[in-house]
Each structure stands twice: as structure tokens, then as C-alpha cells.
């Protein structure tokens, strides 16, 4: 089950909020109320301070969203695919389904986010200064000053040379340009990212025992996340390069069990999901495949209605989201499964069912290739 929910689309890009976002939103909200605004806005009521803190926190995450949108817009205009932007515990993340086609595109895409944050910092600082001259600053001037500070910090932090931070991507672009190897450039940039993560963990623990409290633990936590993200990003590139050019038709299962569209969900669960131990099946009616039913589709129907709802009613119709051509890359299939949160795709050619491909099929292929050294 996905942990994120969509809140809208901007420039054709899905915007999602992960449930962990509420944790960091709460931390920032309380921190603003008890810290910055308690110090610089002592004269307002507690209710007003909570309101100002909430609005400021939302404006901060709007700034994070604009930072990620800058990355995504440059990427889309450069011919890359962006499946969406997710706001989560550590800020925001643009979900790319492929790698940049050149070091120049990588550089432009990477630098766009920090430039957006710097621009926002300048705008907020200018507004704060203008209000300070006009009316002594007040609530709005204080809010804009904080937003200017944190956007400047966001730009500086993201420019640190550790992949997958923006600075790490700038470093990778330079290494890629000089070495002519995306794999080697990613490996080196990811090593910098892991090293930076270790330094942040050590520094955070030291700060915690030196009296920094939660701030030290948070720094260490971010370092741990960066270290893990650097390692997984490099592994993902290796996986992508291994699967690109490998057609789905070479790994799919051709002998496919299909579910009749008239079968009720309780029978689907008993006879197919449990009986054959697979998480998804094509749904067939009138001698043609009409949809693909996954565990999530069944779970979305109240259990007391499983004996009434049929597979044909519960299964989403075939579309680009749950089908793939046998000539498509196995990597594309894996990305689509992850995006749609379904472990299988129906393989269709000229409107006819050719087979089904699953995560297990693809990972089995990868395991065999690694064991054979191919």
C-alpha cells in the first residue's frame, strides 16, 4: 500500500505528500512557535503565534515544492520523464524514471533547484527589509526573514558535493564530462555522498553530546538518510543499465492464468490469489482481456461486498498504466510497476495478450546475470 497521496498536478507533474511529511511539518510548526517566533514576536497572542507558525511552515514547504519543480521542469524540457514530486520527511524529491542524456542536461537540472532557492531567499529578504523600513517589520517582516534564512540554507545544503544532493549531481556532471562514463561518475559522486553522510552522522552525535539536543540527532539522521540514498542511487543506476535494452518479451511468462470477469472477488481471492499464490491476474471477458486485477484493487472493496462485486467491476481497464509491449525495456516495466504499486503488468501486442511480466521475473533475470557475470 502506498504511503503517499496526490494533492494535485502542476505543469502536468503529479504532486504527492508522503505521510512522513506530517512529522516534519509538526516539528517545524512547534519549533517556530516555541523558538523563532517566541523570541521575535513575543507581543502576539498564543493563538496568533500558532497561526503564524502554521502559515510559515506551509510557505516553507511551498518553497521546497518550487525547488523540486525547478528540477522537474528543466528535466521535462530536456526530454526526461518525471513521474511526480513527493514531499516527505526530508523535504522533497523529484521522481525521475530515467537518467539525463548528457552531462550538460544533468548540470542544468541539478543547478535549477538551488538557483530557485537562492532566488526565493533574495525575494524574502528583500520583502523583509522593505517592510522593516516601511513599518518596522512586524509579523510579515519576521516571517519573510525566517523564510529568507531557511531558503538560503536549503540552497547551501543542497550544493554540498555529495550525490544525490544537487551539489553531488553537479559533481557527477563534471566527472561524467571528463570521464565519459556515467557509471564511473555516479560511483565516485555516490562515494562522496556516503562520506558526507558519515561526517554528518559523526558531527550530529558529537553535537548531541555537546548539548545541541534534538538538532544534533536530526543532523545525524539526515546524514544516515544521505548515506543510504547515495548507495541506493548507485545501485539503481547499475540495475537500470543492466535492464535497459533487455526486452520484456525475453523475461515475461507466456502461460498466463486469466480470471473470468464474472467471478466474484471472494472466489478470486480463494481460487486465484491464494490458490495460485500470485498477486495479480488479467481479467478476461468475451474472449478478450478487459483489465488487470491486483491485491490493491481487491483491498479497496469492503470485505463484506466481496461476494457481490465481480472481477470485471473491480479491475481497472487496460491502459498504459498496467500494460506494456513485449519490445519495451525491462527497466521501463519495473518503473511502471513501482509507480502503479502493482507487481505485474499485462504484456499486450496488437491488442492481444502475449503474457505477463512481474517483479519476480525481472529480479530473477538480474540474479542469473549477476551469477553468470554477464
Q: Which residue has the higher pLDDT, 205 or 374?
A: 205
Please enumerate in sequence order all residues whose Cβ is within 8 A of that of 354, keeping only pairs 6 or more positions apart, or say none. 249, 252, 254, 326, 347, 348
Domain(s) of CATH 3.10.580.10: residues in the chain: 248-372
∠ at Cα 257 (256, 262), nearest 5°?
Answer: 135
Please enumerate in sequence order all residues whose Cβ is within 8 A of that of 70, keeping only pairs 6 or more positions apart, or say none. 112, 113, 115, 116
CA distance 110 to 186: 14
∠ at Cα 341 (340, 346), nearest 5°?
Answer: 65
CA dihedral 109, 111, 115, 116 (to 10 degrees): 30
Q: In what order do the strands lie in the sheet with 352-358?
A: 323-324, 344-349, 352-358
Q: Which residue has the higher pLDDT, 280 or 177?
A: 177
The per-residue pLDDT for 373 is: 66
Active site residue 332: no
The residue annotated as part of the active site, out of 68, 106, 332, 340, is 68
Give the pLDDT confidence of 108-145 residue by residue, as tens digits. 999 999 999 999 999 999 999 999 887 766 899 999 99
Give the pLDDT confidence of 178-211 residue by residue, as tens digits. 999 988 999 999 999 999 999 999 999 999 898 8
Please report, for residues 83, 129, 319, the alpha-carbon distance to residue 324 in angstroms, rounded to integers and kept in the order given. Answer: 17, 55, 9
CA distance 31 to 21: 15
Give the pLDDT confidence of 80-89 residue by residue, as tens digits. 888 889 898 8
CA distance 180 to 173: 10
The per-residue pLDDT for 198 is: 96
Mean pLDDT score, 29-52:
93
Please enumerate in sequence order all residues whose Cβ is within 8 A of that of 113, keeping only pairs 6 or more positions apart, or say none. 67, 68, 70, 71, 158, 166
What pLDDT band is residue 1 in, cutting at 50, 70 and 90? very low
Q: Domain 248-372 is in which class? A: alpha beta
Peptide bond into 264 cis (omega under 30): no
CA distance 36 to 259: 60
Name 14's bridge partners: 9
Give the pLDDT confidence of 99-110 residue by residue, as tens digits. 888 999 999 999
The per-residue pLDDT for 65 is: 95
CA distance 31 to 53: 9
Nearest C-alpha neighbor of 205 from the set 191, 218, 194, 192 = 218
Give the pLDDT confidence of 326-341 residue by residue, as tens digits. 999 888 888 888 777 7
Mean pLDDT score of the chain, rounded to an integer? 89
Amino acid at each position: 500500500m502506498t504511503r503517499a497521496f496526490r494533492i494535485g498536478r502542476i505543469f502536468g507533474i503529479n504532486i504527492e505528500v508522503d505521510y512522513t511529511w506530517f512529522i516534519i511539518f509538526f516539528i517545524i510548526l512547534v519549533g517556530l512557535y516555541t523558538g523563532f517566533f517566541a523570541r521575535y514576536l513575543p507581543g502576539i497572542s498564543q493563538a496568533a503565534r500558532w497561526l503564524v507558525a502554521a502559515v510559515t511552515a506551509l510557505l516553507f514547504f511551498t518553497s521546497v515544492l518550487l525547488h523540486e519543480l525547478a528540477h522537474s521542469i528543466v528535466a521535462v524540457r530536456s526530454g526526461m520523464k518525471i513521474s511526480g514530486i513527493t514531499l516527505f520527511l526530508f523535504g522533497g524529491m523529484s521522481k525521475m524514471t530515467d537518467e539525463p542524456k548528457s552531462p550538460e542536461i544533468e548540470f542544468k537540472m541539478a543547478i535549477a533547484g538551488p538557483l530557485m532557492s537562492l532566488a526565493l531567499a533574495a525575494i524574502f529578504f528583500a520583502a523583509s527589509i522593505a517592510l522593516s523600513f516601511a513599518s518596522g517589520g512586524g509579523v510579515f517582516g519576521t516571517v519573510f526573514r525566517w523564510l529568507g534564512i531557511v531558503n538560503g540554507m536549503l540552497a547551501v545544503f543542497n550544493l554540498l558535493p555529495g550525490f544525490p544532493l544537487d551539489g553531488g549531481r553537479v559533481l557527477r556532471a563534471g566527472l561524467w564530462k571528463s570521464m565519459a562514463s556515467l557509471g564511473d561518475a555516479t560511483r565516485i559522486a555516490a562515494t562522496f555522498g556516503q562520506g558526507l553522510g558519515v561526517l554528518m552522522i559523526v558531527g550530529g552525535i558529537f553535537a548531541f553530546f555537546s548539548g545541541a539536543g534534538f538538532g544534533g540527532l536530526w543532523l545525524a539522521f539526515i546524514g544516515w538518510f544521505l548515506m543510504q540514498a547515495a548507495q541506493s542511487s548507485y545501485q539503481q543506476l547499475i540495475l537500470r543499465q543492466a535492464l535497459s535494452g533487455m526486452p520484456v518479451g525475453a523475461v515475461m511468462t507466456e502461460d498466463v492464468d486469466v480470471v473470468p470477469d464474472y467471478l466474484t472477488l471472494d472466489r478470486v481471492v480463494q481460487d486465484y490469489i491464494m490458490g495460485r499464490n500470485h498477486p495479480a491476474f488479467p481479467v478476461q471477458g468475451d474472449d478478450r482481456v478487459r483489465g488487470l486485477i491486483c491485491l490493491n484493487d481487491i483491498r479497496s472493496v469492503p470485505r463484506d461486498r466481496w461476494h457481490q462485486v465481480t472481477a470485471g467491476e473491480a479491475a481497472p481497464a487496460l491502459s498504459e498504466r498496467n500494460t506494456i509491449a513485449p519490445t519495451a525495456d525491462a527497466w521501463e516495466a519495473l518503473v511502471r510497476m513501482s509507480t502503479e504499486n502493482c507487481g505485474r503488468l499485462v504484456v499486450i501486442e496488437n491488442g492481444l495478450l502475449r503474457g505477463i511480466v512481474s517483479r519476480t521475473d525481472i529480479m530473477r533475470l538480474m540474479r542469473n546475470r549477476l551469477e553468470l557475470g554477464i
